[in-house]
Amino acid sequence: MTQSAEPAGAHTAKLIEGAKQEGKMTFYTSTSLEDSEALLKRFKQIYPFIKTELYRANADRLMAKMLTEAQAGKFFWDVQINGDLNTESMKRDGHIGKYVSPQVAFYDEASIDPEGYWVDTYPNLICIGYNTRLVSKENAPKTWDDLLDSKWKGKMGIPTNPYTWFINMIRIRGEEKALEYMKSLSAQDLRVRRGTSLNVELLTAGEFSLGIALTNYRIQALMEEGAPLAWVVPEPAIQVLHPISMSSKAPHPSAAKLFIDFVLSKEGQEILASFYRIPTHKEVPARYPAIKCEGVKRMPFSPKNVDDYEKYVALFKKIFIKK
């Protein structure tokens, strides 16, 4: 992947000229509505001649919508932010176009697609959450294996779709050992509930003591509001990237590139950090530094995670849902 040799000012000026002709930019995202609207509000202040449209849904619904539209020959969206597995799948299917933003100079290689299709806007670190009214820091689990202790039986919750966690556990342990672990964990009588947000709400309410495969930034945000929560990120840290990319058939390509440049800029990343996200821009600190887990080894994203995706989704459901 190579950056354009064109000066940044000339690059932006050319995009502005094209965007004025286009007059619009459509953004599809799985990022929360509050975060997304904040990004678009500031973008429109900078480029008032660009009308913006937003469609927000959870990762799987967003993916389904984009694929349905593509199959019908309809191409409405210009820019998308979605989870890494869905983004890589869209890339393979030819729905994502190449664009190397000048902002990549401020990003580590691990945050950038080497072929130039996407850049991570923020990673979510997968954690074990616990209710501090029910579990002390001393007794809280520190590793995934700690969850197999009999004292936690019937006291843990898990979302219905933590597929990145499941696939990365297989990468870490190997398929045979990982599946043995998952079956033992399932035997702990887990409470399986739809969605990470609902699981965090139930954990906060004390419906269960531990929450598996949650995101540490979300728990940290509630902790700052006084919720009785804490989190642990076992090492190596499993992360879900949230790449930004443009459509291979973007109706408004110049406006799309301007928006990507903005989201990846220092200002765009500061907006995301203000909502407790973990910024990937080198010069932007996290609102609460602890959530970055500095010094903790992270599992890098691998495109191979997509290879057997359907197989492992089916296995997760068989083990945890269709018992």
Render pLDDT for 167-177 as a digit per residue (tens, 0 to 9): 999 999 999 99
Q: Where along the chain do the CATH 3.40.190.10 domains lie?
A: 8-123+240-292, 125-238+302-321
Q: Report percent pLDDT > 70 for the chain.
A: 97
From 20-34, 94-108, 298-312, the region with the lowest mean pLDDT: 298-312
| Spatial contact of 191 and 206, defined as CB atoms under 8 Å apart | no
How many other C-beta atoms can be found within 10 angstroms of the C-beta atom of residue 261? 19
**Cα three-residue angle 44-21-265, rounded to 5 degrees:** 40
CATH number corresponding to 125-238+302-321: 3.40.190.10
For 245, the 3-state DSSP assignment is: strand
Question: Helix or strand or coil: residue 241?
Answer: strand
Question: What tokens were used for 305?
Answer: 């995670």
Q: Quick one: average pLDDT of 239-266?
A: 98
Query: Is 4's pLDDT higher than 50?
Result: no
pLDDT at residue 5 is higher than 60: no
Q: Where are the alpha helices (DSSP H) in 187-300?
A: 196-205, 216-224, 253-264, 266-274
DSSP tag of 126: E
- Under the banding of pLDDT at 50, 70 and 90, the label for residue 59 is confident
Interval 254-271: pLDDT, tens: 999 999 999 999 999 999
- Please state which CATH number belongs to domain 8-123+240-292: 3.40.190.10
The position carrying tokens 């007059």 is 23
The DSSP code for 50 is: -
Q: Look up the pTM and report it.
A: 0.90
- Which pLDDT tens digit goes with each residue over 89-140? 999 999 999 999 999 999 999 999 999 999 999 999 999 999 999 999 999 9
pLDDT at 1 over 70: no
* Residues found in the chain: 323
Percent of the chain with pLDDT over 90: 87
In this predicted structure, the answer to whether residue 45 has a pLDDT above a threshold of 70 is yes
